[in-house]
Amino acid sequence: MRKIQYDRFGDEQVLEVREQPTPTIGKNQLLIRVKAASINPLDWKLYRGEMKLLSGSAFPKAVGIDFSGVVAQTGPGVTRFQVGDAVFGLLDTFKGGALADYVVATEGDIAPKPSTISFEQAAALPVTGLAALQILDQLAAVQAGYEVLLNGATGGVGMLALQIAKRRGASVTAVAGPAGATLTSWGADTVLDYTKQDLTRLSQRFDTIIDLSDKLSFAAAKKLLKPRATFVSTLPSPWSLAASFLHNLFSAQKHRILILKPTAQGLADLAALAQDQLQIPVEKVYNLASVRQAYRETSRGEVRGKTVITLD
């Protein structure tokens, strides 16, 4: 089978399509024929070597976290899925390997793919959708009437978080570059262009600020927070986790940091949202042979929403 691997850290040129043996499965495992996988910023942070502490430096390494496909084999102990079922899910975030013809998963890594969405849309959903749900419901507990600032609203997480925050009854100010102009049609109450507007000069105060750009610090965001508000960032590091923990002990303004927790229930919740007309922003679709081009364009910020790679 084909699999994307790399043997050294670097830009997208390190990614190679290789022939590998199809994996074998054991107890409680499923073999899934991948139909599509999607690109996440974590992929390029890993292959560039920006997360060596977490990924380690042993090679070869594989790429791709979330996928959709069809169950090809089930191992002993698998009870909830059968050969032929259409599914979507995600692999270990630091090991990856979804950019391959086959992946091995457990029942906890996957959920049935809703029939109302395509394999491409399903592959775009796991990481970004789980991130959006965990930020809004667990870290910020966004409720009806909350004023939410979403910084980085044209990205994969942002376009889902915008729609889910609106479903929770929040008022959303969406921030992005010039491509964000269309976000009102996705539900944004206000759209700001960060190339024209200095956020720190806003007079409005927010119940929740979610930074998906990695560019807004808690220190800068603080002046935009109401007295009992929450700031959420998505870049965990030992230092930021320790600093936020200490800060949260003594302040009513909280700084929460996302560490994605994949759960089968979360995937089922996303499937239900997808069946309830959540729009999944797949902007570009490539085949496996164009994987370098796909990563080059996406990592340069040239794609609004998600890039998907098909394995057919």
Ligand X SMILES: NC(=O)c1ccc[n+]([C@@H]2O[C@H](COP(=O)([O-])OP(=O)(O)OC[C@H]3O[C@@H](n4cnc5c(N)ncnc54)[C@H](OP(=O)(O)O)[C@@H]3O)[C@@H](O)[C@H]2O)c1
Interacting residues toward ligand X by CB under 6 A: 40-42, 127-128, 131, 151-158, 175-177, 179-180, 194, 212-215, 234, 236, 258-260, 301
Alpha-carbon distance of 34 to 71, in angstroms, equals: 9
DSSP secondary-structure letter at 14? G
Alpha-carbon Rg for the chain in angstroms: 20
Sign of the dihedral through C-alpha 14, 309, 154, 138: negative
* Minimum CB distance to ligand X smaller for 41 or for 108: 41
Angle at 236 between CA 284 and CA 229, to 5 degrees: 95
Alpha-carbon distance of 125 to 38, in angstroms, equals: 8
- Residue 159 CB, nearest approach to ligand X (Å): 8
* Minimum CB distance to ligand X smaller for 30 or for 142: 142
* Minimum CB distance to ligand X smaller for 71 or for 160: 160
Alpha-carbon distance of 230 to 209, in angstroms, equals: 6
- Residue 17 CB, nearest approach to ligand X (Å): 24
Q: Identify the CA nearest to 308 among candidates 87, 122, 96.
A: 122
* Minimum CB distance to ligand X smaller for 15 or for 71: 15
- Residue 134 CB, nearest approach to ligand X (Å): 8
Residue nearest to ligand X (CB): 155
- Residue 31 CB, nearest approach to ligand X (Å): 26
* Minimum CB distance to ligand X smaller for 55 or for 213: 213
- Residue 124 CB, nearest approach to ligand X (Å): 10
**Which three-class secondary structure state does DSSP give residue 292?**
helix
* Minimum CB distance to ligand X smaller for 86 or for 220: 220
- Residue 196 CB, nearest approach to ligand X (Å): 11
Q: Which residues contact 250 (CB under 8 A, 6 or more apart)?
A: none
Listing DSSP states for 181-219 in one string gives GGGGGGT-SEEEETTT--GGG----EEEEEE-SS---HH
